[in-house]
Structure 1
């Protein structure tokens, strides 16, 4: 049985250290706490969709080291199809994070993720052909994303591209082929080179990409919600107000949840509302993947957090 949602992207081991202060160059200091967690934007999005019950597969490169073995095992335990997950020659991708109070410094080491090249995707055309939705991010090479978009177009499979981290050297020709393009306002500004200070400016920038061919612009606005813009439609889907504890991984949770609901029901507006709920729940919990609830938890937490009514647009 083929995966319905196919995520092509990164996996990273998050290596987080709480610190009292950063060491000076050449200095060694003690730190009070360290923890390791599964992350990476592609893996986060796949994990969120799998938690909700979708048949999810990944095309990704894990490392040839112990961390790569650990991540592959995590995929399998999470119910994620690993036909497209292979070991690279390099060590697994890692993201050492140094946390000082409410500030953090992060170093991203691509590792085996850099070996997910365009030619790798040719081995998995059958997975792409049978998917109902391809999900992409920008923690792998842009050329690999372009290859994925071209193959998806060949087989008439819709693509959702979440352009994070932001990159202002993107080929608009390929972006225009995406069914869903889901930046936040900052990423939208990077791509379009247009101001995004006000809602009207964000709408204007989004319409620039719609005019180029993108069918659905989904611009996330944090606590303000999400703007859904098409050639004939502009709609604000308001966010749910919650007491935020940790927003790490919330954007990936949104993408994964939207993918699940859209493949399940085909209703974009309803899927956006449900994805808003899912993302809002995750910010009330700590961590990225560790904050992602399964469907039974979603039902329980919706009631607990008062999310069973539709919020009113405030913009």
Structure 2
């Protein structure tokens, strides 16, 4: 069982389904409203836990109903929540509009932006005991950087999902064992032309695993060879959380080697879009194994 520490955001997702995205100034009738536990950090933690990893979550919620609900939800997934602090701000939320299997998202970070280096230091023992430390960018960059430094201090792989996309400092890039962007995030994170992503992967051998939608994922080996893991064909219901599922799975299966970890992460991401909700669609280990056997 892999031990994964996730440093990241915890949100409540409020989802509206519509026939089409509203234009500026337009009011539309929606077809459905739902709330789902979310946040990239919490999503990736749940994905890893369902796939058999022993997961610890480091994050921050508000002293409100959403915060209590989110901690309870994570605990039900078997995730260690001891290092989730309570901030002054309200629990983070995401407003998601769904139409035709696509989504548009507005995030209000709230308490997520209160996660600090001090919170990371409190959980240093968990990081020291981890097999993989996984972070995203919905919490302060300084906090993510500090988590990377602690992971390096203890000799632990540090995975960074650079989303939402921002330009990364050389220091943070140097601390990152594996960068896990999509094509757009890669260009923004490394300040390179989007069309040159394959060259970028080869220039950073073994250090990037890039998702590419239905096409699957690409990564480079330690000697710079570009490898394509083909996508899996499924009927998409809700693409929210597919990337988070990929990341959680990648961390959970990293001990199996890059090729197998990416293959399983790609399959888990595909499975996740077949059901509604970022966490609601995330598969269990048994579901993933059954899916992979059917693809053989």
State whether residues 237 and 272 of structure 1, in contact with CA within 8 Å, keep that contact through their aligned partners in structure 2.
yes
- Number of the residue aligned with 1:106: 105
* Partner in structure 2 of residue 279 of structure 1: 269
TM-score of the superposed pair, with normalisation by structure 2: 0.91
In 2, Cα distance between equivalents of 1:102 and 1:250: 12
State the partner residue of 1:7. Answer: 6
Question: What do residues 35-82 of structure 1 show as CA deviations (whole Å, max 9, x unaligned)?
Answer: 100111111111011001110000011111011010011111110011
Aligned-partner SS, 2:159: strand
Once the 2 structures are TM-superposed, how far is the Cα of residue 140 of structure 1 from its aligned partner? Answer: 0.7
TM-superposed CA distance for 1:106, in Å, is: 2.9
Q: Does 1:221 align with 2:209?
A: no
- Tell me if structure 2 keeps the 8 A contact 1:58–1:82: yes
CA contact (8 A) 1:176 1:209 kept: no
Partner of 1:301: 291
The count of residues paired between Structure 1 and Structure 2 equals 294
Correspondences of 1:1-315 after superposition (within 5 Å)? 4-19=3-18, 31-99=30-98, 104-168=103-167, 170-197=168-195, 201-210=196-205, 215-234=206-225, 235-263=227-255, 265=256, 267-303=257-293, 306-308=294-296
Aligned residue for 2:84, secondary structure, equals strand
Q: Is the 2:63–2:88 contact (alpha carbons within 8 Å) kept by the matching residues of 1?
A: yes
Compute the TM-score of the two structures, normalised by the length of structure 1.
0.86
Contact 2:9-2:59 within 8 A present in 1 as well: yes
Structure holding more strand per residue: 2
Q: Is the contact made by 1:131 and 1:157 (CA closer than 8 Å) also made in structure 2?
A: yes
Secondary structure, counterpart of 1:72 in structure 2 = helix
Of stretches 86-95 and 28-37 in structure 1, the one that deviates more from structure 2 is 28-37
What's the secondary structure of 1:242's corresponding residue?
coil
* 2:108 counterpart SS class: coil
SS of residue in 2 equivalent to 1:17 = strand
**Structure 2 portions without partners, runs of 5+:** none
Let me know the Cα RMSD of the aligned residues: 2.4
Per-residue displacement from partner, 1:90-110 (whole Å, max 9, x unpaired)? 111001224466665432111
